[in-house]
A and B are shown apart, each in its own frame.
Chain A
């Protein structure tokens, strides 16, 4: 579903990704962990073209994203993204935030898109917030709206970029639950997070990144209880 070959990314002279190889299978939940500055967010952002790869090859749903001739806009409709800072559209209501993609990009009717939006709002546990503005919601609520906004496009893959890092601790749970439900429904997910509980419980596979490269990967069991690499062990001992 996603295949990444020798992905390199530099910002000026700073090489953030130094040749990353990874494969994500359908319905798989891959959790990417690692210290800040390890390149995990950049890696995720490359997967929907928010960052342009300096070198290497990324293939998503059979389309080569790194080919400059590929229509990235089209591909992004199939790849949802949830951001650390939610990035809801401040000037739109919750309903409009969710329906604008289906309406403008998929040319769906207002009625149909609102029907889908209401279903999604119920699913993320916010059925009566449709006419609120993002700034009237708590962080956790905003992030759940952001998840609904991404899901409204009926994506085949969902990317999460530290979705709970900007939340107050008591709101982390509600967002993680929404993500867990999504995983149980069989969504293919790549999640960059510091939530080791989530990685353990929901992840099918854990990738540990450091200094722009994948150091180690395996099942949550292998990584958390039987890490082979010294750097993995040292990182886990600091945060667990």
Chain B
């Protein structure tokens, strides 16, 4: 059988794995963005306590490898907490995977959002406050919309990284794209073809993401700031 047929035969299964990869990517991107926004606002708040919480969070999740975090949450925590009983032994690995990814990517997104907010001219905040806006209104209507535009390139970068990072779910037995490939290779030994196809599929997904981001950036250029 030639390479083309080997890949085509494995394709339905690979696409199934790809579906799981995309699901985890989307879920992680949403959760990590929420976590990142909250942690960034904590980091910029006036409360020492909230700033400290945010700082510790970022340092821990940026300072340890994602694979270690995933294994710790998926396999380490259940040895001291009855997590598998609470969520069921089939569901818990998925929850662990989602939480692990979201917290890790969230730490990087925290820094991206924080930098984006700090990049907005102080005069914008002062002008908003001078017309009587609260800090919350200033953030919501004035600072974040402008900061968001500047955050798009680094965020897209991070989202592409997130998609690739879901491949680290394979070692904790989540059947995503890479793990699917490993299962197929265990049967047909066509490592070159299958892992090549796996890599290609990641490339396609990330290419779609970056093209969408390009389109978005062009759309949002209206006032060129």
Of the residues B123, B131, B223, contact of A153 by C-beta under 8 Å = B131
Q: CB distance A76 to B132 under 8 Å?
A: yes
Q: Which of B127-141 contact A (CB under 8 A)?
A: 127-134, 137, 141
A135 within 8 A of B: yes
Chain A residues with Cβ below 8 Å from B128 are 89
Q: CB distance B133 to A87 under 8 Å?
A: no
Q: CB distance B123 to A74 under 8 Å?
A: no
A79 to B129, CA, bound (A): 11
Assign chain A's interface to a size class: 20 to 34
Chain A residues with Cβ below 8 Å from B146 are 89-91
Which label, helix, strand, loop or mixed, suits the secondary structure of the B interface?
Answer: helix
Given contacts A87-B123, A89-B124, A91-B225, contact A50 B137 (CB under 8 A): no
Q: CB distance B127 to A89 under 8 Å?
A: yes
Chain B residues with Cβ below 8 Å from A48 are 130
Instruction: Give the number of A-B contacts (CB < 8 Å).
Output: 73
Given contacts A91-B223, A135-B223, contact A74 B126 (CB under 8 A): no
Of the residues B127, B134, B137, B222, contact of A87 by C-beta under 8 Å = B127
A61 within 8 A of B: no
Chain A residues with Cβ below 8 Å from B127 are 81, 83, 87-89, 146, 149
Nearest B residue (CB) for A102: B131
Given contacts A83-B123, A105-B137, A135-B225, contact A91 B131 (CB under 8 A): no
Q: CB distance A150 to B126 under 8 Å?
A: no
Chain B residues with Cβ below 8 Å from A90 are 124, 146, 223, 225
Closest Cβ–Cβ distance, residue B194 to chain A (whole Å): 48
Closest Cβ–Cβ distance, residue B123 to chain A (whole Å): 4
Q: CB distance B145 to A91 under 8 Å?
A: yes
Chain B residues with Cβ below 8 Å from A91 are 145-146, 149, 223, 225
B142 within 8 A of A: yes
Closest Cβ–Cβ distance, residue B122 to chain A (whole Å): 9
Chain B residues with Cβ below 8 Å from A218 are none
A69 within 8 A of B: no
A56 within 8 A of B: no
B224 within 8 A of A: yes
A-B contact pairs, 14 of them (CB 8 A): A73-B132, A73-B133, A73-B134, A79-B130, A83-B127, A87-B126, A90-B146, A90-B223, A91-B149, A101-B132, A101-B133, A135-B225, A149-B131, A153-B131
> 6 other contacts beyond A91-B149, A105-B131, with CB at 8 A cut-off?
A85-B123, A89-B127, A90-B124, A90-B225, A101-B131, A134-B223
Query: Which A residues contact B (CB, under 8 angstroms)?
Result: 48-50, 73-74, 76-77, 79-81, 83, 85, 87-91, 100-101, 104-105, 133-135, 146, 149-150, 152-153
> What are the 3 tightest A-B residue pairs by CB atom distance, in nearest-first order?
A77-B132, A101-B131, A87-B127
